[in-house]
Amino acid sequence: MANETTTTTLAGSLPRLVLGAVAEAHDNVVILPRVRSNVLGQGQGVTGRYAVMGTLSPADVTEGAAMSNTAVSHSATDITVAQRGILVSILDIASRASAFGVQGVLQNVIRQVSQDIDGKIAALFAGFTTNNVTGSTLTDTMVFQALGKVLAGTGNMALASPDLTLAIHTQQYTSLLNDLAANGNALNNTPIMQGVAAGNLPSLFGVDIAPTNQCPAAASSGNKSGALFFRDALGVVVQWATRPVTLQHPDAGGGPGVIASVTHSTGFSELVDAFGCQIESD
């Protein structure tokens, strides 16, 4: 039979229902809460300072002899904030026609500006020069190696930094799960394997795991740059995390109905190199 009426012939009258927004794959901000961070208040300028206390070593005391003085030294790391952000101009007709409206568009912008903070922190991982672990794919052995290097580098300051984090790219996280699954017989019926089976491993060897797509590509082709670090390894100074500023603008001659900027004003720096270990792997 020919000349049937189909959805193709009726295309001009078929309604279109927007079922939902599909955003690019972005995770939530996960690294910022795991590093040392402070907020600059109103009128406190654009530069924050972190004091880093040096290590001290006790000496033997000889009975009847005077002790020698030990100089206490503090170094400092100054961090100056800078603004980064996204500016969008939404035409009035577009804001009225979109199924999500202005708020839906801005929520996506806000999320991506927030995640930019994590990306800037992760870019510091390659700066850990004291410690580095490299491999083709991430394994539990590499995590052990990184943990040993970091613990060895903390000296007398370990108690000042009790928090350990393994921040790795989701690609590295999947490799780690695969490695643990391959060792399933040795780890059978343990919380580790229960997490692997569920695809959710919040910690390993007492180290919190923070998988994130914000970890950058490493120097080696195809590898990603993650890190295992103490909280005090990295410092962030925040003037404001995410601040949306929206200006309603009359639509004159097809111009924008809403002009919005979303910015963060932050600064980032390594504080103690030996407190972190870069992990470069697939």
pLDDT, one tens digit per residue, over 130-177 is 888 888 899 989 998 999 899 887 754 444 445 899 999 999 999 998
Dihedral sign for Cα atoms in the order 180, 132, 126, 76 = positive
* CATH numbers and ranges of domains, the chain: 32-53+74-281 (3.90.1690)
User: pTM above 0.85?
Assistant: no
Closest CA to 236 of 36, 29, 56: 36
Beta bridge partners of 36: 235
Note the pLDDT of residue 159.
40
Note the pLDDT of residue 250.
59
Note the pLDDT of residue 102.
77
Note the pLDDT of residue 171.
92
Q: Are 276 and 150 in contact (CB under 8 A)?
A: yes
What percentage of the chain reaches a pLDDT higher than 70?
Answer: 78
Give the residues of the chain that fall short of pLDDT 70.
Answer: 1-7, 9-10, 12-28, 155-162, 184-199, 220-221, 249-256
Q: Are 194 and 92 in contact (CB under 8 A)?
A: no
d(CA 144, CA 278): 13
